[in-house]
Amino acid sequence: MKIQFAFLDWVWIPSLNIGRIHQFRLGEGVDDSGVATKVLTCNCSMDLVIDNNSQIFGLHIDPPVLAMSFGKLPLAISHGTKLYAESDGSRLFKLYVGTTNTPIYGAGRSMQDMLDSGKGLPLVIRMSLRSSFHVVPNLIEPKFHHQAECLLVLDSAYDKRQRTQAYSSKCTPIL
């Protein structure tokens, strides 16, 4: 039997930001059955900052899950690796989500039109993560669940100086 406590001074809130859009390309292609469609290749990095306020215990973080979507259409999903944030400090983790040559079918034309319009292409990236402090293993392990959502608006331009697709973004925690 596990006993769970909520230690208020240990509560931490992760900070999530879009780091860089390394590649975003909508091309013409065919799927496995030979149907012509738009094909998406993209790669996005995210910066996850963990502030662990505990003076004694490290924070064990299960592999974070990132999901990228256009409206209700899922584009990519990524499962990270286990993470660990030492006690009394801040730690930056790089997370990635992307896809290669994924057929988009009917949404591809809408996505291309939005990019070409100059208003931008809205994408949503959702992050879900679970963590725990191992105070007394298998007896006292306070657990935390966090979710965040980033609205990412891509521009059709590429920023050569920053080596990223031009974009604007806003990330908020989901309570």
**Which of the residue ranges 6-15, 130-139, 152-161 has the most confident prediction, judged by mean pLDDT?**
152-161
At 12, is the pLDDT very low, low, confident or very high (cuts 50, 70, 90)? low
CA distances from 45 to 64, 97, 150, 164, 165 (A): 13, 7, 12, 10, 12
Concatenated DSSP letters of 66-125: EEEEETTEEEEEEE---EEE-SSEEEEEEEEEEEEEEE-TTHHHHHHHHHHHSS-EEEEE
pLDDT at 127: 94
Q: What percent of the chain has pLDDT over 90?
A: 38
The answer to whether 149 and 172 are in contact (CB under 8 A) is: yes
Q: What percent of the chain has pLDDT over 70?
A: 93
Mean pLDDT across the stretch 93-122?
90
Residue 98's Cβ-count burial label (10 Å; 0-12, 13-18, 19+) is: buried
Lowest mean pLDDT among 30-34, 61-65, 102-106, 136-140: 136-140
pLDDT at 13: 57
At 78, is the pLDDT very low, low, confident or very high (cuts 50, 70, 90)? very high
Q: How do the domains of the chain map onto residue ranges? A: 8-168
Please give the model's pTM, rounded to 2 decimal places.
0.83
Q: Is the pLDDT of residue 156 over 90?
A: no
CATH class of domain segment(s) 8-168:
mainly beta
pLDDT at 5: 36
CA of residue 35 relative to chain centroid, distance? 30
At 7, is the pLDDT very low, low, confident or very high (cuts 50, 70, 90)? very low
Residues 6+ apart with CB under 8 A from 154: 21, 24, 115, 120, 121, 123, 165, 166, 167
Residues 6+ apart with CB under 8 A from 59: 12, 50, 52, 84, 85, 131, 132, 133
